[in-house]
Amino acid sequence: MDILTKLERGERLDFKEALALYDLDLFTLGHYASMRREALHGKKSYFNINRHINPTNICKDICKFCAFSAHRKNPNPYTMSHQEIMAIVEDGVARGVKEFHIVSAHNDQVDLEWYLGIFRKIKERFPQVHIKALTAAEVNFLAKEHGLQFGALLDLMIESGVDSMPGGGAEIFDEKIRAQICKGKVSSQEWLEIHRLWHQRGRKSNATMLFGHIEERSHRIDHILRIRALQDETGGFNCFIPLVYQTQNNYLNVPYPLTGQEYLKTIAIARILLDNIPHIKAYWASSTLNLALVAQEFGADDLDGTIEQEAIQSAAGAKSRNGVKVEELVHLIRDSGFIPVERDSLYNELKVWT
């Protein structure tokens, strides 16, 4: 049976078949990805009103692709106090922010209470907000730094008020690639195990993939299929987010950025392969807002959110530092032929902008 027949029937593809999807032309891929997108969500495109907070850039690890952590190309180390973080939260809540996405570097100069205590303070003051915090890479770092099992740290996160986990730190699962771009960071197996344990606690998370650097297409397919396998087991992933590698201010020395066509093909392939994950996010902070809007035609049904302020992608050249206003995002989604839907962090619909 050929690939197109399997696509028409909605059947699962194996590794070899999945890799061959890249040989299809862009519009054929878009057709089949859109079929799956519309079967799940129609013309709805989701976003939320969120605020990213990156409380420190001091990092024990040295990842060659990173422009955020304090090192030779970013000589401005900082660590926020809880008071500073709470001021940002209070300002955000006053303006309607419903989710705080809190991700930091791996700072070994502060204690565990600095990481976890802020979540308790946010929840005590604003119990209604959703805290999405601590990547699996941060969990791995903190557990090893403080002599804890992964499960014990995840329990402390829940007790402190963390509602869901972001998908960061996955990068590319192939360990040979990881040895070149993020040696010493959480391994692929550790990343998957941390999310498995989180899901076993009845909690949801996202999954990511950083691509467009030194990986090959086969590495992307391997990565996506490992995510699919874990989702078959746990059902805990809300969303898959392909993140575009940013070329500036890091040590990978990749001369040219990913092409728009390669990005759209990867979005479409993710939608086709991940039949068990409900949402594919075109994270505009890494892809550009315009390309994320186009990705709606290639299987993406989520654009993340307003973000308000973002430090990690923008440090490497992305034009995302100051976020986007709700009205502008709604207008752009609507003008691109889709229905803007404000969601909460777990994809419950809050408002359909007609």
Q: What is each CA distance from 94 to 143, 203, 210, 215, in whole angstroms?
A: 34, 27, 33, 43
> All domains of the chain, ordered by start, with CATH?
13-338 (3.20.20.70)
Reported as a pLDDT band with limits 50, 70 and 90, residue 347 is very high
Mean pLDDT over 134-145 rounds to: 96
Q: What is each CA distance from 168 to 4, 243, 330, 354, in whole angstroms?
A: 33, 9, 26, 33
Reported as a pLDDT band with limits 50, 70 and 90, residue 311 is very low
Mean pLDDT over 314-327 rounds to: 58
pLDDT at 64: 62
**Which of 186, 199, 194, 209 has its CA nearest to residue 106?**
186
Which carries the bigger pLDDT value, residue 280 or residue 69?
280
Residue 290, phi then psi, degrees to nearest 5:
-65, -45
Reported as a pLDDT band with limits 50, 70 and 90, residue 316 is very low
Which carries the bigger pLDDT value, residue 71 or residue 306?
306
pLDDT at 77: 85
> pLDDT tens, 22-75?
999 999 999 999 999 999 999 999 999 989 899 998 887 676 656 656 665 556
**Which long-range contacts link 151-154 to residues 24+ away (Cβ below 8 Å)?**
151/197, 154/194, 154/197, 154/198, 154/201
Reported as a pLDDT band with limits 50, 70 and 90, residue 287 is confident
Reported as a pLDDT band with limits 50, 70 and 90, residue 304 is confident
Reported as a pLDDT band with limits 50, 70 and 90, residue 317 is very low
pLDDT at 288: 86
pLDDT at 322: 56
For the chain, the average pLDDT equals: 90
Reported as a pLDDT band with limits 50, 70 and 90, residue 307 is low
pLDDT at 69: 63
Largest CA distance in the chain: 61
Where does residue 30 rank: exposed (0-12), middle (13-18), buried (19+ CB within 10 A)?
Answer: buried
> How many CB atoms sit inside 10 A of residue 60's CB?
15
Measured CA to CA, the distance from residue 54 to residue 85 in angstroms comes to 9
Mean pLDDT over 240-259 rounds to: 80
Measured CA to CA, the distance from residue 89 to residue 125 in angstroms comes to 10
Measured CA to CA, the distance from residue 233 to residue 213 in angstroms comes to 30
> pLDDT tens, 114-129?
999 999 999 999 999 9
For residue 314, pLDDT beyond 50: no
For residue 254, pLDDT beyond 60: yes
Q: What is the DSSP letter of 133?
A: E
Q: Give the 3-state secondary structure of residue 240.
A: strand
Mean pLDDT over 324-353 rounds to: 94
> How many CB atoms sit inside 10 A of residue 225's CB?
19
> pLDDT tens, 176-212?
999 988 888 999 999 999 999 999 999 999 999 999 9
Measured CA to CA, the distance from residue 101 to residue 115 in angstroms comes to 13
Residue 127, phi then psi, degrees to nearest 5:
-65, -15
Reported as a pLDDT band with limits 50, 70 and 90, residue 308 is low
> pLDDT tens, 141-155?
999 999 999 999 999
Tokens encoding 17: 């078949």
> pLDDT tens, 214-247?
999 999 999 999 999 999 999 999 999 999 987 7
pLDDT at 89: 97
Mean pLDDT over 287-297 rounds to: 93
